[in-house]
């Protein structure tokens, strides 16, 4: 702004038109179904249906149709469980941190991130049920009075998981929903029929009064703090599913923070990919700007370094200790049967992001998105290595085995990736993917 | 009597509210309606929020009940623990923590519903602000309505309407 304040005057004069433009643009994706959207839903839907068929096949024929065999009794399903729970940290954790630190650039990013959290948790939470085989017995983990006078064993880390995911899912849904309320009220005034009725119902009678804004902002800050604490605990609890077993390479004190770091890492990567897709397919170039990607790229670079540090700390300790059972697994990972996965993980999680994000000139929207994809692939491989390589090399060498996933596991895995795309596509037609009131609130903010 | 003033610039709402408060109008009788949060005099919301208190209480109650329930089930059906303690704070601590946090989340949701007055029948219909307008509504006895209207006009209100008698 110059000394006369003329730029302020210009902004103030343009404000009404710009606000209307923002309202219209951000609510535009809710109206109509384009050809590209229908095609994307159809393709994702086919994958999801195929996955549903594969699961039905497993329910009918039993868990034997999956590739899990002794000693590898946890395979793709648990890998996917850990992976998706990790992805779920995209939203709530990142959004909560940025909200609590008052980062102005978060505004167009948060809702997309919070939606990832809810969808990834829904998908991740399904995997232990799929892994059960007899999925209909899942309710046994719910404590209810029964004729055998049995209760679930609350000392078991598996029960910890159920509770942690229940809390995180509830908190994440509310954390997504609360800032959505003003936008739902707004959308209700600009839609008709059933859609308007749905928005009015979901907006809970929001009027936009100063008391309501005051209460919402206050509760959102507190909710962000609570959600942050829950998010950290959830992935720690997931890591304890492994670390509480006296199994070589799993029984590690740093597994909790290692998993949390990995979760934030993959979460940021997922957010970058989703933002790039929104920018490309919904035409949000004006809202998801290069500096949003640049900031996320820097966060991703930071997490690359932190992940590298934790990985070195974990592997160096095992190597230096040379305990036979642990060393056998390390050997398998670094130079044995799992070496291709291990080195691919290092390249995808560390080498590529370090190079592309570390050199400023190379850090563009395209390269940041590429890094998002490589980190997602690398983190999936990391989960695969943790689960499968360890189980295939138990303490007794005579019990060593191998694992190869069946078509059922591969189909269900592919189906969940299509599933999150499908959920996102449906969400994009029901709710604004960028918080209209928050973005509008930051109209005059210097960093947008 | 209820007066509703429309401002076509949201920056004018704060001085208008300040003028009403200075003139002795009760904060609870003044309400501002806007499509986005507007900076207003802190005096307007002088009542402290109970959200954090409710969250803490709700967390403590839920966490306490969850722990008591776990210990009850472990006493009700004492499984063989191989010499380990039947009731263990360590092993049940995680669930206590998670359900304590779940209680906090529920408490915050209740606090929002209560403090924002959501899901409640409205005494007065709310004005619907468009993109760029802000409404200031003030409830006052009939004899104060003229000075209030004058204050609002002086503060830059584009229109002041009277109506919506308090029932």
CB atoms under 10 Å from CB of A178, counted, come to 17
Interface of A with B in 97-126 (CB under 8 A): none
Strand partners, B134: B7
Helix (H, G, I), strand (E, B) or coil at B30: strand
Residue A145 Rama label (left phi>0; alpha psi -120 to 50; beta): beta
For B105, which of A171, A182, A205 is closest by C-beta distance? A171
Reply yes or no on whether the pLDDT at A296 is more than 80: yes
User: What ipTM does the predicted assembly reach?
Assistant: 0.91
Closest CA to A213 of B116, B104, B121: B116
Interface of B with A in 134-153 (CB under 8 A): none
pLDDT for the residue numbered A440: 63
Is the minimum CB–CB distance between A437 and chain B shorter than 8 Å?
A: yes
The number of helices, as runs of H, and strands, as runs of E, in chain A is 18, 0
Please give the average per-residue pLDDT across A426-442, as a whole number: 82
pLDDT tens-digit map of A388-430:
999 999 999 999 999 999 999 999 999 999 999 999 999 999 9
- Quick one: tokens of A366? 């395209």
pLDDT tens-digit map of A35-91:
889 999 999 999 999 999 999 999 999 999 999 999 999 999 999 999 999 999 877
The pTM of the full predicted model, rounded to 2 decimals, is 0.91
Interface of A with B in 192-251 (CB under 8 A): 204-219, 222-223, 226-227, 229-230, 233, 237, 240
Please give the average per-residue pLDDT across A187-196, as a whole number: 89
CB contact under 8 A, B32 and A210: yes
Is the minimum CB–CB distance between B46 and chain A shorter than 8 Å?
A: no
Is the minimum CB–CB distance between B52 and chain A shorter than 8 Å?
A: yes
Closest CA to B5 of B162, B146, B165, B164: B162
Which residues from chain A sit within 8 angstroms of residue B108, using beta carbons?
A: 174, 219, 222-223, 226
pLDDT tens-digit map of A304-341:
999 999 999 999 999 999 999 999 999 999 999 999 99
d(CA A164, CA A170) in angstroms, rounded, equals 10
* Structure confidence at residue B126 as a pLDDT band (50, 70, 90): confident
pLDDT tens-digit map of A197-225:
999 999 999 999 999 999 999 999 999 99
Is the minimum CB–CB distance between A444 and chain B shorter than 8 Å?
A: no
Least confident of A152-161, B95-104, B108-117: A152-161
pLDDT for the residue numbered A345: 97
Closest CA to A353 of A271, A269, A273, A291: A269
The number of helices, as runs of H, and strands, as runs of E, in chain B is 4, 4
pLDDT for the residue numbered A16: 66
Nearest-CA distance A95 → chain B (Å): 17
CB contact under 8 A, A440 and B88: no
Task: Please state, in angstroms and as integers, the Cα–Cα distance from residue A129 to each residue in A99, A116, A364, B66, following that order.
Answer: 34, 21, 40, 24
Please give the average per-residue pLDDT across A141-146, as a whole number: 86
């Amino acid at each position: 702004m110059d000394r006369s304040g003329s730029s302020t005057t210009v902004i103030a004069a343009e404000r009404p038109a710009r606000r209307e433009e923002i309202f219209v643009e951000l609510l535009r994706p809710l109206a109509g179904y384009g050809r590209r959207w229908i095609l994307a839903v159809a393709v994702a839907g086919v994958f999801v249906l195929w996955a549903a068929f594969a699961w039905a096949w497993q329910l009918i024929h039993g868990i034997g149709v999956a590739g899990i065999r002794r000693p590898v009794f946890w395979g793709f399903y648990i890998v996917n469980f850990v992976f998706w729970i990790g992805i779920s940290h995209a939203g709530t954790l990142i959004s909560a941190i940025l909200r609590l630190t008052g980062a102005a650039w978060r505004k167009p990013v948060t809702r997309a991130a919070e939606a990832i959290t809810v969808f990834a948790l829904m998908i991740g939470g399904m995997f232990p049920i799929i892994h059960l085989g007899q999925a209909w017995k899942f309710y046994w983990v719910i404590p209810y009075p029964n004729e055998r006078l049995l209760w679930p064993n609350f000392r078991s880390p598996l029960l910890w998981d159920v509770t942690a995911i229940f809390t995180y899912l509830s908190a994440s849904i509310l954390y997504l929903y609360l800032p959505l309320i003003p936008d739902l009220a707004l959308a209700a005034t600009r839609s008709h029929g059933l859609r308007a009725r749905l928005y009015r119902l979901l907006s809970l009678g929001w009027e936009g009064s100063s008391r309501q804004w005051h209460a919402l902002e206050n509760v959102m800050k507190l909710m962000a703090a609570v959600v942050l604490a829950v998010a950290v605990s959830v992935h720690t609890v997931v890591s304890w599913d492994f670390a509480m077993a006296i199994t070589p390479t799993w029984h590690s004190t740093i597994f909790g923070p290692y998993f949390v770091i990995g979760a934030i890492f993959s979460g940021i990567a997922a957010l970058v990919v989703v933002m790039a897709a929104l920018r490309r397919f919904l035409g949000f170039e004006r809202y998801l700007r290069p500096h949003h990607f640049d900031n996320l790229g820097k966060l991703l670079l930071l997490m690359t370094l932190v992940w590298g540090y934790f990985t070195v700390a974990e592997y160096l300790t095992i190597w230096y200790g040379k305990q036979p059972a642990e060393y056998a697994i390390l050997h398998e990972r670094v130079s044995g049967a799992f070496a291709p996965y291990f080195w691919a993980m290092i390249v995808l999680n560390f080498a590529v992001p370090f190079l592309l994000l570390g050199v400023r000139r190379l850090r563009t929207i395209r390269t940041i998105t590429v890094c998002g994809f490589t980190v997602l692939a690398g983190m999936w491989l990391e989960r695969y290595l943790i689960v499968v390589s360890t189980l295939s090399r138990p303490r007794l060498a005579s019990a060593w085995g191998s694992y190869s996933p069946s078509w059922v596991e591969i189909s269900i895995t592919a189906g969940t990736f299509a599933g999150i795309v499908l959920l996102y596509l449906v969400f994009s037609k029901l709710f604004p993917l960028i918080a209209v009131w928050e973005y509008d609130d930051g109209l005059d903010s210097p960093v947008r | 009597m209820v007066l509703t003033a429309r401002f076509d610039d949201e920056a004018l709402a704060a001085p208008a509210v300040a003028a009403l408060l200075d003139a002795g109008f009760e904060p609870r009788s003044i309400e501002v309606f806007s499509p986005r949060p507007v900076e207003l005099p802190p005096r307007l919301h002088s009542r402290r929020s109970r959200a954090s208190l409710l969250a803490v209480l709700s967390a403590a109650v839920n966490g306490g009940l969850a722990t008591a329930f776990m210990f009850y089930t472990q006493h009700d059906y004492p499984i063989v623990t191989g010499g380990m303690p039947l009731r263990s704070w360590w092993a049940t601590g995680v669930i206590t923590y998670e359900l304590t946090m779940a209680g906090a989340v529920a408490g915050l949701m209740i606090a929002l519903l209560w403090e924002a007055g959501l899901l409640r029948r409205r005494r007065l219909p709310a004005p619907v602000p468009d993109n760029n307008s802000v409404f200031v509504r003030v409830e006052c006895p009939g004899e104060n309505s003229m000075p209030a209207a004058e204050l609002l006009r002086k503060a830059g209100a584009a229109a002041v309407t009277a109506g919506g008698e308090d029932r």
